[in-house]
């Protein structure tokens, strides 16, 4: 679709990426005002997206009749380059990456942005393991004026990852991305494409008519729940797929929670820790009206996690969907001051909570959490709690909302009397 250049922004002293867009080979019309307007509109749509797992668009323009996007420079590797590296990810890490991609896609969908060309080559994996979704809006450019008048009705995209409705040229909604995400999930988890063929005609026939074999045929370690989740995303009838990309992510979070579980025997000793329960109810207003049985139920739905001293629990800026309760050890919350310097904003000990805002809204973390010594925490996943015990989750939502409202009132009184 074009060429990507690494460049230096001399004003802001940062590296950026410049992606040129290749015009159709049979287009000798050059760029006109209509083409330029189309390019700018698509750039504006893509630039609306401000999410840690979505590429940031800085600028758009035309140079010697070649349209280009200026984007943030992401250091890492494309998912396509890593799929066949057996040492790159564990199965659990793969599912975690897919869940984050699905959340990012949902973020775009609720802002009326559809990707239309989701594939491993459009996913970058940063050095910290965080995925970045690339090329929002660019696929759509190839179906309009930039493709040349004689090729407007040609379907663009990557056939192996396209939904049946995209193959047939129908109007598209967010469910086309869910199908593509399911295809990418299958490929990432097994190393095999769900839809294949010796030529384009056979690939199209496979997408439209054939059901792929189950993923467990290739890898018995894949849980049945994960197999089922991916196959629902791959349903040829879009009405049978997930309603939203976030629904797919929710199911993946359930799988992650189960795969990362230490088992009920190990959890039981934590749920019987009356001291921690007492500390939670006395120190945090959002637990104050929970009875002991309700706190124990939250513990049962959570996962016990252990961190070595100096280990990062989560970095600042990443999307969060878990809150943490310290069972043993100490945790330091740090705020980035510069790229190479951070300052402590709080030190926490046994019985303390942190990261609770993720329960209300999957937003970027405002600080880095680091274990100061060997530390054991309980990680409460918002999706797992909401799906398994919605009333308990609702109660936690309500109490957190009340706490935030009180904090806002106190701030208002300080500022305005």
Of 62, 65, 74, nearest to 17 by C-alpha is 74
Residue 338 contacts residue 288 (beta carbons within 8 Å):
no
Q: What angle do CA 201, 177, 198 make, to 5 degrees?
A: 20
Cβ neighbour number for residue 52 with a 10 Å cutoff: 18
| CA dist., res. 3 & res. 13, Å (int) | 23
Dihedral sign (CA 323, 329, 333, 339): negative
**Active-site choice (35, 37, 81, 117):** 117
Of 157, 152, 125, nearest to 138 by C-alpha is 157
Phi, psi of 274 (to 5 degrees): -65, -30
117 is catalytic: yes
Q: Is 84 left (phi over 0), alpha (psi -120 to 50) or beta?
A: alpha
Exposure b/e, 171-184, CB count within 10 A at least 16 = b: ebebbbbbbbbbbb
Outline where 142-195 has alpha helix (H).
164-167, 174-190
Provide the CA 337 distance to its chain's centre, in angstroms: 26
Residue 39 contacts residue 67 (beta carbons within 8 Å):
yes
DSSP helix/strand/coil, 319: strand
Active-site positions read 117
């Amino acid at each position: 679709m074009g060429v990507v250049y690494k460049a230096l922004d001399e004003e802001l002293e940062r590296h950026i990426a410049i992606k040129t867009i290749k015009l159709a080979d049979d287009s000798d019309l050059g760029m006109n005002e209509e083409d330029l307007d189309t390019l700018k509109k698509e750039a504006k749509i893509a630039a609306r997206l401000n999410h840690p797992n979505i590429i940031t668009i800085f600028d758009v323009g035309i140079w010697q009749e070649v349209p280009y996007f200026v984007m943030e420079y992401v250091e890492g590797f494309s998912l396509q380059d890593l799929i066949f590296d057996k040492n790159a990810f564990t199965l659990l890490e793969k599912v975690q990456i897919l869940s984050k991609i699905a959340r990012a896609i949902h973020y775009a969908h609720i802002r009326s942005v559809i990707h239309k060309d989701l594939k491993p080559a459009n996913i970058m994996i940063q050095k910290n393991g965080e995925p970045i979704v690339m090329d929002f809006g660019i696929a759509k450019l190839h179906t309009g004026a930039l493709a040349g008048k004689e090729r407007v009705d040609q379907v663009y995209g990557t056939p192996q990852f396209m939904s049946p409705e995209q193959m047939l040229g129908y109007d598209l909604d967010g469910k086309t991305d869910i199908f593509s995400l399911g295809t990418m999930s299958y490929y990432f988890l097994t190393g095999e494409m769900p839809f294949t063929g010796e030529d384009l005609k056979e690939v199209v026939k496979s997408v439209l008519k054939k059901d792929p074999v189950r993923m467990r045929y290739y890898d018995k370690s894949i849980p049945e729940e994960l197999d089922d989740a991916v196959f629902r995303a791959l349903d040829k009838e879009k009405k049978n797929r997930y309603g939203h990309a976030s629904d797919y992510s929710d199911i993946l979070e359930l799988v992650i929670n189960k795969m990362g579980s230490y088992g009920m025997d190990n959890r039981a000793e934590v749920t019987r820790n009356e001291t921690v329960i007492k500390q939670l109810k006395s120190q945090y207003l959002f637990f104050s009206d929970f009875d002991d049985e309700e706190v124990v139920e939250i513990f049962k739905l959570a996962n016990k996690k252990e961190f070595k001293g100096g280990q990062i629990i989560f970095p600042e800026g990443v999307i969060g969907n878990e809150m943490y309760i310290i069972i043993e050890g100490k945790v330091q919350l740090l705020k980035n001051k510069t790229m190479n310097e951070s300052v402590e904003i709080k030190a926490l000990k046994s019985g303390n909570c942190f990261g609770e805002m993720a329960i209300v809204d999957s937003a970027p973390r405002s600080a880095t959490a680091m274990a100061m010594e060997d530390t054991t925490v309980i990680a409460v996943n918002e999706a797992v709690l909401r799906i398994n015990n919605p009333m308990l989750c609702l109660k936690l939502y309500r109490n957190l909302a009340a706490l935030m409202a009180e904090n806002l009132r106190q701030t208002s009184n300080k500022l305005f009397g």
